[in-house]
Amino acid sequence: MVRLGKNAAGAEQTEYAQMDYAGEQLRDRREESRRVERGAFDLPFFLLTLLILSIGVVMVLSASFARAYYKDGNAMGIFLRQLGFAGLGIALMIFLSTLPTAFYRRMTPLLVVITGFMLALVPFLGTGKSEVGANRWFNLGFTTFQPSEIAKIAIILLFAHMICLYRGKMKTFRYGVVPFAGILAVTVFLLILEPHLSASVIILAIGAIMMFVGGAPLWCFLLGVGVVGVVGFVVVNFFPYASSRITVWQDPWSDPLNKGLQTIQSLYAIGSGGMTGLGLGQGRQKYMYLPEEHNDFIFSIVCEELGFIGAMLILFLFAVLIIRGYWLALHAKDRFGSLVIVGIVSLLAIQVFLNVAVVTNLVPCTGISLPFFSYGGTALLIQLGEMGIVLSISREIPLRKKKSEDVEKS
């Protein structure tokens, strides 16, 4: 691991070194934030992010040029836009990595308030009704953005903050469950107003993960699973819209030109890939057969063009990034940082898992983008921003332990 500023080890560092007990790095260090010594960010995590991002941007080009050409006459249009956002995102990531962890903690209340406003307003002032039947976006003129994306990181930061706040009381129902469940309920309610099912699912999942890691009692998860199960059963059996989704999931060919279309075309693309794929750029399903080929279904094109080997390699990179993320969480200096990393990395894992599961028809079809791959400027900025926060926290991982190990070895 490369760390800058080794020589800048000051008096404080020596002080920490003496506080030698298990989990020291997980202290709630809010009050000491001003005195934190910051090193370099975690290079493996950074490089992995860049590598995945690069592959993703190239795949946007491959997936989008056909439709871009036929629709707008400019095959490079979508790619160049994504490339621009990727550059902007890298800058944002590096910038955010320079801000101290404490800054994020301080900003959390403000972010929560802004997110709340936006979520409350987007069903009425947002756009998207005509395209997807739900108002999920704010139109900023040059681009659009989804408040639900912000909501995810807001929930992570808020829950991490609350867990730190209720430390020692997380096992109790009153502190460990009620406030969290209440916030989640309000958020999901606002999302259902849009409506936005996939975002609700992700917010619920990430909220549950934060509670789980934060130490909430395990029985409440059993209860949660039960509630979700019952609600799901009712919805699937009594709401025709939902039940038709299940039918199409089980047999996409029951409605091949309508609801099953995306899944069928996606399976055609993925299945066509075989072991080695048709070659980068050589895919055929992107020629307007597969809808959303550069958005939610970009991984189908990856499979078609790069084959099983290529797809598994990309999933492997994601897995390594995620595991590295948890490693950073385990080594984070304080509890807040650790929880935030767990939240962000788990969010990444959930999105990757659900996206690939959807395109392979492992789970019913719903709109979930693939981080770093799917086309979308603000989503990419937010994802890279989240990586920036992880990198920011990684800067504060203390050198002490490693240094002492070095000393022991010598």
Nearer CB in complex with another protein: 13/360: 360
Question: Would you say 151 or 303 has its CB closer to another protein?
Answer: 303
- Nearer Cβ to another protein (86/208): 208
Query: What is the Cα–Cα distance from 395 to 386, expressed in whole angstroms?
Result: 14
Minimum CB distance to another protein smaller for 155 or for 190: 155
Query: 90-119 b/e with 16+ CB inside 10 Å = b?
Result: bebbbebbeebbbebbeebeebbeebbebb
| Cβ-based nearer residue to another protein, 7 or 18 | 18
Copy the structure tokens of residue 141: 């003129």
Q: Which is nearer to another protein, 119 or 359 (CB)?
A: 359
What's the closest the beta carbon of residue 315 comes to another protein, in angstroms? 5
Instruction: Give least dist CB 334 to another protein, A.
Output: 11
Dist CA 293 CA 258 (whole Å): 16
Site for another protein, rule CB under 8 A? 21-23, 26-27, 65-66, 69-70, 75, 167-168, 170, 209, 212-215, 267-275, 281, 284-285, 287-289, 303, 307-308, 311-312, 315-316, 318-319, 322-323, 326-327, 329-330, 335, 338-339, 342, 345-346, 349-350, 352-353, 356-357, 360-362
- Do 336 and 345 touch, CB atoms closer than 8 A? no
Segments of 129-258 assigned E as strands? 138-139, 144-145
Q: Omega before 364 cis (within 30°)?
A: no
DSSP state of 59: H
| Of residues 136 and 400, the one with the C-beta less far from another protein | 400
What is the identity of the amino acid at 352? V
Q: Helix or strand or coil: residue 20? A: coil
In the complex, minimum distance from the CB of residue 255 to another protein, in angstroms, rounded to a whole number: 16
Taking the complex as a whole, the smallest distance from the CB of residue 163 to another protein amounts, in Å, to 8
**In whole angstroms, how close is the CB of 8 to another protein at the nearest point?**
25
> Is 126 within 8 Å of 194 (Cβ atoms)?
yes
CB of 230 to another protein, least distance (A): 24
Give the phi and the psi of residue 144 in degrees, each rounded to 5.
-120, 160
Give the CA radius of gyration of the chain: 22
Of 277 and 376, CB closest to another protein: 277
d(CA 379, CA 372): 9
Nearest approach, Cβ of residue 323 and another protein (Å): 4
Residue 205 three-state SS: helix
Nearer to another protein, 39 or 337 (CB): 337
What is the distance between the alpha carbons of residues 204 and 206, in angstroms, rounded to a whole number?
A: 6
- Give whole-number Cα distances, 338 to 216, 260, 389, in Å: 16, 41, 11
- Minimal distance in Å, beta carbon 142 to another protein? 23
CB of 318 to another protein, least distance (A): 7
**Side-chain half-sphere of 90: how many Cα atoms within 13 Å?**
15
Tell me if residue 138 falls in helix, strand or coil.
strand
Within 8 A by CB and 6+ apart from 196, the residues are 134, 136, 148
Beta-carbon contacts of 237 under 8 Å, excluding residues fewer than 6 positions away, are 243
CA distances from 301 to 50, 57, 61, 79, 264 (A): 20, 13, 11, 15, 13
Query: Which of residues 26 and 399 has its CB atom nearest to another protein in the complex?
Result: 26
Query: Min. distance of Cβ 66 from another protein in angstroms?
Result: 6
